[in-house]
Amino acid sequence: MSESCQTNKETSPLKERIKTWDFWKPILFITLGGAGGFLYYYYVGCASGACGITSNPYASIAFGGFLGYFFVNRPCAC
């Protein structure tokens, strides 16, 4: 099995790294995922408290942020 995904592990100073899209993309998608999780809680959420994720706004935001992070940093998009 050949390795089809290559990563660039070169380190650069923080000032240079902040200016790149690779730095801001995960932050943006985690924020959008968290906002989406909150909107799902607010409009669809479970009022009875029986639902583990949608009955708690913090859990919905965390789960949405995780999905946003996973969407950006999927293991290999080959």
4-40 confidence digits (pLDDT tens) = 666 666 677 888 888 888 888 999 999 999 999 999 9
Give the pair of three-digit tokens for residue 48: 């009875």
67: pLDDT confidence band, cut at 50, 70 and 90?
Answer: very high
Q: Write the single-letter amino acid at 46.
A: C
Contact 64, 44 (CB under 8 A): no
Band (pLDDT 50/70/90 cuts) for residue 53 is: confident
- 47 three-state secondary structure: coil
Q: What is the DSSP secondary structure assignment for residue 55, as one 8-state letter?
A: T
Backbone φ and ψ for 61, nearest 5 degrees, come out as -65, -45
One-letter amino acid of 2 = S
